Chains A and B, each alone.
Chain A
Amino acid sequence: TLLGILCTDAPIAPSALQALLSAAIDKSFNSISIDGDTSTNDTVALLANGAAGGPLITSASSPGYAEMQQTLTAFAVDLAKLVVRDGEGATKFVTIRVTNAASYADAKKVASTIARSPLVKTALYGKDANWGRILCATGYAEGVDSVVPAETSVSFVPTDGSAELKLLVKGEPEKVDEARAAEILEAEDLEILVRLSERGGQEAVYWTGDFSHEYVTINGDYRT
């Protein structure tokens, strides 16, 4: 189960607060997956008491609303990432970035499908640059029109700032430098970059981990 409690001393009216939270959640806690199971209890609450003073934010047109949205979303993203860092049995922190989609919804659906794929996650645990599994998950994302197989590209992006490792370019497999792939997969943090087409301009980011033996041990032992 995911629980979250956020509090701010900024002055925000209830209607604006709900809108701010909902928008922030979409790009943070609703963009993570550890094991693909949605709990019965997931809740994130946001309280604002206005104790620091200043003009009340009452709606999206209020001065400060946009900045508050930006701050809250970035903050919620950082909190959500902490949950992924502590995923049961996870040894990796994986960012899945899907770009060149026709819509944000399309990009998010693809990213979510990849993040939930047990075969992608076990490949990551096994440090295997298995672009085939990533591509497979991309292809079965339901209700997504943005996927153009002949234009899809998959890369691993190291988090140390070095160049991306191209695994698939416009539907054609690359000759992968296995040593470089192994080096990238050795690190705890990794980004999988999927470009869906040559036209769309929308992007979504999802965060997940790998699947390990430990996950099965923890949840095989857990009793209700």
Chain B
Amino acid sequence: RRYSAPGEGSIPPAKQKYVPTSGTYPKGFLAASTHAGVKPSNTKFDDLALIASESPCSGAAVFTKNKFQAAPVTVTRDMLKRRGGSGIRAVVVNSGCANAVTGKGGIEDAVRMGEETDKCFEDESSQPDGNGSRTVVMSTGVIGQRLPLRRIIHKIPVACSGLGSTHQHWLSAARAICTTDTFPKLLSRSFALPSAPDTTYSLVGMTKGAGMIHPNMA
């Protein structure tokens, strides 16, 4: 185990079967990742992921019930409540630092991450509407340290410009959110609904987690 994104060649042989080599991804969603160097010891692996919708979309989330909720949890919950789950454009995630138990400064950092990501979507459909950010913010990593915000802010536009819809884009993003994971966790699926029998829908999901795992989210 190492604290870095599990790349090709470093995935244990027994886990390789869980890493998809292709996928069917939902229309209108894009993914990207880049290296921000959140942890100084991480000099080469991507640690910033961005998922975006090409148009404003519905958003919902569940969050930990731990009473010490990290800044991105608070900020994202407030954002979704303020917007009523409408007009969402993106999810920005950093690994390497949880931005947890970081006080008011941590909240400001999480807000800033969201605002910087919003700048990627300053098109007609996302003009300011008085409800603030349109971005879900997530962080994972060590607790009790402030984010290296400057490095992250600097790299968000890089992630924006790298957005794409290929399998490699999605897989790279899934890798970038990893911490002590040994393999990226990415799934996609097509399905149909009886309400639109001629339409093929898709779902994509990525997740990370290896330790401190006993979720109790609401």
Chain A residues within CB distance 8 Å of chain B: 1-10, 12-15, 17-18, 20-22, 25, 29-30, 32-55, 57, 62-64, 67-68, 71-72, 75-76, 78-80, 82-83, 85-88, 116, 214-215, 218-219, 222-224
Output the residue of B26, B68, B217 with the most chain A CB within 10 A: B217
Whether the Cβ atoms of B58 and A14 lie closer than 8 Å is yes
What 8 A-B pairs are tightest by C-beta distance, nearest first? Answer: A14-B85, A54-B196, A51-B28, A64-B195, A49-B57, A34-B213, A42-B64, A9-B26
User: Which residue of chain A has its CB nearest to the CB of B76?
Assistant: A43
Report yes or no: A40 in contact with B195, Cβ–Cβ below 8 A.
Answer: no
B interface residues, how many (CB within 8 angstroms): 81
Nearest-Cβ distance from residue A216 to partner chain B, whole angstroms: 11
Given known A-B contacts A14-B58, A17-B58, A224-B142, A4 and B213 have beta carbons under 8 A apart: no
Contact call B211/A43, Cβ cutoff below 8 A:
no
B55 lies within 8 A of chain A by Cβ:
yes
Q: Are A22 and B138 in contact (CB under 8 A)?
A: no
In the complex the two chains form, is B218's CB within 8 Å of A22's CB? yes
* List of B residues within 8 angstroms of A214 by Cβ: 1
Set of chain A residues within 8 Å of B15, measured between Cβ atoms: 85-86
Q: Which of B113-121, B148-156, B174-182 contacts A (4 or more CB under 8 A)?
A: B174-182
Q: Are A85 and B18 in contact (CB under 8 A)?
A: yes
A2-B209, A18-B85 given as contacts; is B183 within 8 A of A86 (CB)?
yes
What does the 1/0 interface line of B70-84 toward A look like (CB < 8 Å)? Answer: 101100100000001
Residue B45 at the chain A interface, CB threshold 8 Å: no
A87 in complex: contacting residue of B54, B62, B213, CB < 8 Å: B213
* A86 to B19 Cα, complex, angstroms: 12
B-chain residues with CB within 8 Å of residue A82 when the two chains form the complex? 18, 185, 187, 207
In the complex, how many angstroms separate the beta carbon of A141 from the nearest chain B beta carbon?
Answer: 15
Contact across chains for B93 and A3 when beta carbons are under 8 A apart: yes
Residues of A within 8 A of B177 (CB): 3, 5
Q: How far is the CB of A134 from chain B (nearest CB, A)?
A: 18
Q: Is the interface of A mostly helix, strand, loop or mixed?
A: mixed
Name the one of B27, B51, B54, B138 contacting A52, with C-beta atoms under 8 angstroms: B27
Tell me whether A43 and B196 are in contact in the complex, defined as CB-CB below 8 angstroms, given that A38-B66, A75-B205, A82-B187 are known contacts: no
Contact A40 B143 (CB under 8 A): yes
Q: List the B side residues contacting A50 at CB < 8 Å.
A: 57-58
Given the contacts A9-B28, A51-B26, A79-B185, A41 and B193 also touching, CB distance less than 8 Å: no
Convert B183-218 into 0s and 1s, putting 1 for each residue whose CB lies closer than 8 angstroms to a CB of A.
101010101011110011111111111111111111
B29→A49 contact, CB < 8 A: yes
Known contacts being A43-B64, A45-B59, is A34 close to B203, with CB within 8 Å? Answer: no
Please give the distance in Å from B140's CB to the nearest CB on chain A: 4
In the assembled complex, the Cα of A4 lies from the Cα of B217 at a distance in Å of 12
Beyond A38-B216, A40-B98, A52-B202, 4 additional pairs, beta carbon < 8 A: A1-B98, A21-B61, A44-B217, A52-B201
